[in-house]
């Protein structure tokens, strides 16, 4: 193919909207979105989150309403994160194992409201339940203990599965947890509960607003660099993904999103498995701040960034913009 101008004019197919639609390579639909939502105690409660403008914590009844909204918008899956009351947080995050904790009550309320019309994804990690804000059990020096933590995460995952979760999403980055969770699900009558592992999760500066939302920012001592990945590493991400797949993950996630689309692409090219990305709280906040400052059109920024995830190779995206984006896409 050596033909060139004037035989070849790439602007020809861009000249009209119908033609641009016809030639578009990547499609974004509400079915590509997973909507993360924050659960809090009470009834009829909506608490706005200052660092996540436009996102609120909802009490369980409000979460059920959000799930119904998601079904109406064509969003196939909702992801739950609890804002555990301070008096229920302790050193070992025991509230994560309570069958009546916020997370389990929210799962049951969504199931009552929506039946099997929506998938419920639940996060496995102890940070919303610990008094120190780390994702696992810590020793006297504050180091997060791998194998002891995995022992608790398995029980947390089973607790969520018993309540009705469809997808268990371990976000803790402990070694070996996917295998042990998979075995526990198999042995306890949950063969069809999926595992979407946060396989390549980086120690990122983009998680700040999320930690406000689940009330762990003020509590967190130190950082999470002994378990979350170094932002400079890509080969290691491929090893993480390979391990989690071998351990029984049904799908894998890369997190954060926009700053790590190269990782998404490399994972997608190396492994023929569904890859998801999490457009995290700090990314959401950045788009909102840019729009509020007049630096760009909010709706266009939202759709362009979500499209970028699809183009990079994602099967879907976890995004706080899910409902808004679905409304835009549904016209």
> Exactly one of 34, 118, 120, 280 binds ligand PBG (CB under 6 A); which one?
280
**Can you tell me the distance from the alpha carbon of 14 to that of 9, in angstroms, rounded to the nearest whole number?**
10
Torsion 165-166-169-175 (CA) sign: positive
Closest to ligand PBG by CB, 35 vs 210, is: 210
210 binds ligand PBG (CB under 6 A): yes
Rg (CA), the chain: 20
115 C-beta neighbours (distance < 10 Å), count: 9
According to the binding rule CB under 6 A, does residue 156 interact with ligand PBG?
no
Tell me if 249 contacts ligand PBG by CB under 6 A. no
Q: 56-59 and 46-48 as β-strands: parallel, antiparallel, unpaired?
A: antiparallel
Instruction: Decide: is 171 part of the binding site for ligand PBG (CB under 6 A).
Output: yes
Q: Which of 32, 95, 123, 247 binds ligand PBG (CB under 6 A)?
A: 123
Neighbours of 329 (CB within 10 A): 18
Q: According to the binding rule CB under 6 A, does residue 127 interact with ligand PBG? A: yes
Verify binding: residue 146, ligand PBG, rule CB under 6 A: no
Q: Is 269 left (phi over 0), alpha (psi -120 to 50) or beta?
A: alpha
Alpha helices in the chain (DSSP H): 17-23, 60-73, 102-114, 146-163, 177-187, 208-213, 235-246, 261-270, 281-292, 298-312, 322-330
Query: Could you tell me the smallest distance in angstroms from the CB atom of residue 169 to ligand PBG?
Result: 8
Q: Does 125 bind ligand PBG (CB under 6 A)?
A: yes
Closer residue to ligand PBG (CB): 59 or 171: 171
Q: Tell me which residue of 205, 216, 220 sits closest to 260, measured CA to CA.
A: 205
Does position 323 interact with ligand PBG (CB under 6 A)? The reply is: no
Q: What's the min distance (Å) between Cβ of 217 and ligand PBG?
A: 9
Nearest distance, CB of residue 98 and ligand PBG, angstroms? 18
Chain Cα centroid distance, residue 109: 20
Q: Which stretch binds ligand PBG (CB under 6 A): 55-63, 102-110, 120-128, 156-164?
A: 120-128
Q: Is 224 annotated in the active site?
A: no
The answer to whether the Cα torsion of 260, 266, 270, 274 is positive or negative is: positive
Is 130 a binding residue for ligand PBG by CB under 6 A? The answer is no
Closer residue to ligand PBG, CB minimum distance, 172 or 247: 172
Cα separation of 191 and 182, whole Å? Answer: 9
88 is an active site residue: no
Length of the chain: 331
Q: Of 113 and 151, which CB lies nearer to ligand PBG in the complex structure? A: 151
Closest CB 140 distance from ligand PBG, rounded Å: 22
Determine the interface stretch with ligand PBG among 53-61, 119-127, 289-297, 303-311 (rule: CB under 6 A): 119-127
φ, ψ for residue 249, nearest 5 deg = -70, 140
Please indicate if the annotation marks 240 as binding a ligand.
yes
Q: Which of 201, 221, 224, 310 is catalytic?
A: 201
Instruction: Identify how many contiguous H helices and E strands the chain contains and give both numbers.
Output: 11, 10
Give the footprint of ligand PBG on this chain (CB under 6 A): 123, 125, 127, 135, 171-172, 207, 210-211, 224, 280-281
Give the residue numbers annotated as catalytic, written as ranges. Answer: 201, 255
Q: Which residues are annotated as a binding site for Mg(2+)?
A: 240
Please enumerate, by residue number, every residue annotated as part of a binding site: 240
């Amino acid at each position: 193919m050596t033909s060139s101008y004037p035989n070849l004019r790439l602007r020809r197919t861009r000249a009209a909207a119908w033609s641009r639609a016809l030639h578009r390579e990547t499609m974004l639909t509400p079915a590509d979105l997973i909507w993360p939502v924050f659960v809090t105690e009470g009834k009829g409660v909506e608490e706005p989150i200052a660092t996540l403008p436009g996102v609120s914590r909802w009490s369980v009844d409000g979460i059920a309403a959000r799930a119904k909204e998601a079904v109406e918008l064509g969003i196939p899956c909702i992801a739950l994160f609890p804002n555990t009351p301070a008096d229920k947080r302790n050193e070992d995050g025991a509230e994560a194992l309570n069958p009546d904790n916020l997370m389990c009550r929210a799962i049951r309320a969504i199931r009552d409201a929506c039946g099997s019309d929506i998938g419920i994804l639940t996060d496995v990690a102890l940070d919303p339940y610990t008094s120190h804000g780390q994702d696992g059990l810590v020793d006297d020096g504050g180091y997060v203990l791998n194998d002891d933590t995995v022992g608790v995460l398995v029980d947390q995952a089973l607790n969520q599965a018993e309540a009705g979760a469809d997808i268990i999403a371990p976000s803790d980055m402990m070694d070996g947890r996917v295998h042990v969770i998979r075995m526990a699900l198999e042995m306890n009558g949950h063969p069809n509960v999926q595992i979407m592992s946060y396989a390549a999760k980086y120690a990122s500066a983009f998680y700040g607003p999320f930690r406000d939302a689940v009330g762990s920012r003020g509590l967190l001592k130190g950082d999470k660099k002994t378990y979350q990945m170094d932002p400079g590493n890509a080969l290691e991400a491929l090893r993480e993904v390979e391990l989690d797949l071998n351990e029984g993950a049904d799908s894998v996630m890369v997190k954060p999103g926009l700053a790590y689309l190269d990782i998404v692409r490399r994972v997608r090219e190396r492994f023929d498995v569904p890859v998801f990305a999490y457009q995290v709280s700090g990314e959401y906040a950045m788009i909102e701040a840019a729009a509020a400052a007049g630096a760009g059109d909010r709706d266009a920024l939202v759709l362009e960034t979500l499209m970028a995830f699809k183009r990079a190779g994602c099967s879907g995206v976890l995004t706080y913009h899910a409902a808004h984006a679905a409304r835009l896409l549904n016209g």
